[in-house]
Amino acid sequence: MRDIRALSLDELKDFFAEIGEKPFRAKQVYDWLWSKNLHSIDEMTNLSKDLRDKLSQYFTINPAAADFTQKSTDGTMKNAVKLHDGLTVESVLIPTETRTTACVSSQVGCSLNCEFCATAKLKRMRNLEVAEIVDQVALIDRQSKEYFDRPLSNIVFMGMGEPMMNYKNVVEAIRKITKPEGLGMSPRRITVSTSGIPKMIKMLADEDLKVKLALSLHSAIEETRNEIMPFSEKFPLHEIMDSLKYWYQKTGNIVTFEYCVWGGINDNDEHIKALIKYCRQVPSKVNLIQYNPIGEGKFDHRSIESEEKYVRELTKAGITVMVRRSRGADIDAACGQLANKTSD
Ligand code: SAH
């Protein structure tokens, strides 16, 4: 049976017209689905029992729900979210003193091949539907209220998948999440993270969504970047920079560069210089992310000294740099560790 959430409001209206119901009923149903995140036709209490029964003959609702939740010693919670076809994605609740951030997935698996990322090993199975993205957010919002006594405050598209490769659904999900009558999230508290697909970055800039953009850079030297993120051969750094300039021009939002420092890969002065030169071209800041081991030996050589050098040199060059502590690593919930693994 068809999921009623696959219908647009207009399609719902058409359906109601066909079965001889008033069009305003369609809006009522739509509100239950998208503003209240209701997962049962039977609970749509402002519809008659007859109408609810009729709807149930035609449609179903396939909620994406937590099958399994693990809690880290630092408070981070990782949900294994079961989808209607039996596949699973992961989404993570990250609490700090004042905020709750949801790290959500956009695809089952990922078609990119970043060597340092566990999700890349899964291959892409399929794109998530709009409702499956919204459900992850609504789930974490409920968990935040239950466990931390406050609503969700931030969303990052840094879970499984490349959001730009599921562009249409990600954009529609953001529109639904930010609608005032729904979850009412501020788009300024939503970050879309991408490995860098220039054409899509420009398209997102044109949407006027007011979200933030993060670019997973990891190396501003083409050769190194292509080695550790092989798909990026198709997207040269200068083209990515063009799209970032366009992004800034259109949105006025600065870009965040995400960057891991790996001993033997990018822990040298040449890389630091290249990074400074690269980020100077567009208003930006750098987040140094702590690498979370995924069992690929070549990335395992952490050098705190080099990280400190990056911070010193970037700061000296007038570039804002933050060091991001890893969260939830004990339950494989940290960046790059999402791989549908629930136990060792
Ligand atoms: N595909 C998107 C979003 C998912 S990855 C993107 O590439 O941006 C979210 C962030 O985690 C990216 O910056 C990615 O480069 C980083 N990451 C991937 N694997 C990691 C790992 N093992 N340790 C730390 N960060 C990692």
**341 has pLDDT over 80:** no
Q: Is the CB of 335 under 6 A from ligand 1?
A: yes
Q: Would you tell me which CATH number, out of the four given (1.20.140.70, 2.60.320.10, 1.10.150.530, 3.40.50.1980), belongs to the domain 2-60?
A: 1.10.150.530
Q: Is the CB of 15 under 6 A from ligand 1?
A: no
**265 has pLDDT over 90:** yes
Q: Is the CB of 116 under 6 A from ligand 1?
A: yes
The two domains 2-60 and 65-343 share their CATH topology (first three levels equal): no
Give the pLDDT band (50/70/90) at residue 343: very low
The pLDDT tens digits for 69-97 are: 999 999 999 999 999 999 999 999 999 99
Q: What is the pTM of this model?
A: 0.94
Topology of domain 65-343, per CATH?
TIM Barrel (3.20.20)
The whole-angstrom separation of Cα 195 and Cα 136 is: 22
Nearest-CA residue for ligand 1 atom 19 is 336
**233 has pLDDT over 70:** yes
What phi and psi values does residue 159 have, to the nearest 5 degrees? -85, -145
Nearest-CA residue for ligand 1 atom 24 is 291
**101 has pLDDT over 70:** yes
**47 has pLDDT over 60:** yes
Domain ranges of the chain: 2-60, 65-343
Sign of CA dihedral 254, 256, 257, 262: positive
The whole-angstrom separation of Cα 269 and Cα 195 is: 23
The whole-angstrom separation of Cα 217 and Cα 237 is: 9
The pLDDT tens digits for 125-162 are: 899 999 999 999 999 999 999 999 999 999 999 999 99
Please list the alpha-helical segments (H only) found in the chain: 9-18, 23-34, 49-58, 130-148, 167-178, 198-206, 222-228, 237-251, 269-279, 304-316
Averaged pLDDT score across all residues of the chain: 94
**What local confidence, expressed as pLDDT, does residue 205 receive?**
98
**344 has pLDDT over 50:** no
**What local confidence, expressed as pLDDT, does residue 43 receive?**
95
- Indicate if 260 belongs to the active site: no
- Indicate if 146 belongs to the active site: no
